[in-house]
């Protein structure tokens, strides 16, 4: 009997080892599959995010390019208005009319240049100008900041409503004089003071 039990122990031990090995192998395989799936999901997420960012950038660039076109057409309209004004001025003041025509021609040139450019070209031009004229750009930025500060500082923050609490100024001086005159002759009961209405103020 002992031989059978001792012979059974090694086989059950081998069975447990095999079972444990199978469970460990299955766990490793499940872990590897989960890691692969999470890696694929992360890669898909990165690809989707990159595609979304690319599409958003493309749409934003399209909107900005259209706005550049709108700005160019506005500058062109202003230039045409300057030409009309210059024609009027030439009758009475030829020098001022010529000056206005020159300004209008320059604005028309800027409008044509602006129409031919896109957002990237404008950014490149602005960057080049900043490198060539840093003092002027800094001065313009400081001036713009100063003007914005002044505009914000002098904007009324809010309108204050009148206080509903009575104060010494709410009573009229006439009522106080009446109280002083009547109190000397006869001691009359104290009168309630009439408060000024908001309409009286």
Tens digits of per-residue pLDDT, 141-176? 899 999 888 888 876 666 566 667 666 655 555 555
Q: Flag whether pLDDT at 93 surpasses 80.
A: yes
- Mean confidence (pLDDT) of the chain: 76
- Judge contact between 169 and 133, C-beta under 8 A: no
All residues at 6 or more sequence positions from 130 whose CB lies less than 8 Å from its CB, including other chains: 137
Of the two residues 188 and 143, the one the predictor is more confident about is 143
Asked if 194 and 169 count as a contact pair (C-beta separation under 8 A), the reply is no
Confidence band for 114, pLDDT divided at 50, 70 and 90 = confident
Phi, psi (deg, nearest 5) at residue 116: -80, -10
Closest CA to 193 of 182, 162, 183, 178: 178
Contact yes or no for 72/114 (Cβ under 8 A):
yes
Share of the chain above pLDDT 70, in %: 67
Looking at residue 7, what is its pLDDT?
A: 47
Answer with the residue of higher pLDDT: 162 or 135: 135
Q: Break the chain into its structural domains and give their ranges.
A: 2-117
**Cβ contacts of 100 within 8 Å, gap of 6 or more:** 82, 83, 85, 86, 89
Using alpha carbons only, how large is the chain's radius of gyration in Å? 43
Residue appearing with tokens 């003092």: 135
CB atoms near residue 29 (< 10 Å): 10
3-state secondary structure of 171: strand
């Amino acid at each position: 009997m002992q031989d059978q039990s001792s012979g059974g122990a090694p086989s059950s031990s081998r069975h447990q080892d095999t079972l444990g090995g199978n469970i460990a192998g299955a766990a490793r395989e499940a872990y590897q599959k989960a890691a692969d799936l999470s890696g694929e999901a992360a890669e898909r997420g990165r690809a989707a995010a990159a595609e979304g960012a690319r599409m958003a950038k493309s749409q934003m660039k399209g909107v900005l390019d259209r706005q550049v076109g709108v700005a160019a057409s506005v500058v062109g309209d202003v230039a045409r208005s300057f030409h009309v004004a210059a024609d009027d001025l030439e009758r009475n003041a030829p020098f001022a009319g010529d000056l206005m025509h020159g300004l209008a021609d320059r604005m028309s040139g800027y409008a044509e240049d602006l129409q031919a450019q896109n957002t990237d070209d404008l950014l490149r031009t602005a960057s080049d100008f900043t490198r060539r004229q840093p003092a002027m750009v800094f001065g313009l930025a400081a001036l713009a900041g100063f003007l914005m500060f002044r505009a914000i500082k002098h904007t009324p923050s809010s309108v204050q409503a009148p206080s509903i609490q009575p104060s010494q100024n709410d009573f009229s001086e006439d009522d106080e004089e009446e109280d002083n005159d009547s109190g000397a002759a006869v001691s009359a009961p104290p009168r309630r003071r009439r408060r000024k209405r908001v309409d009286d103020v």
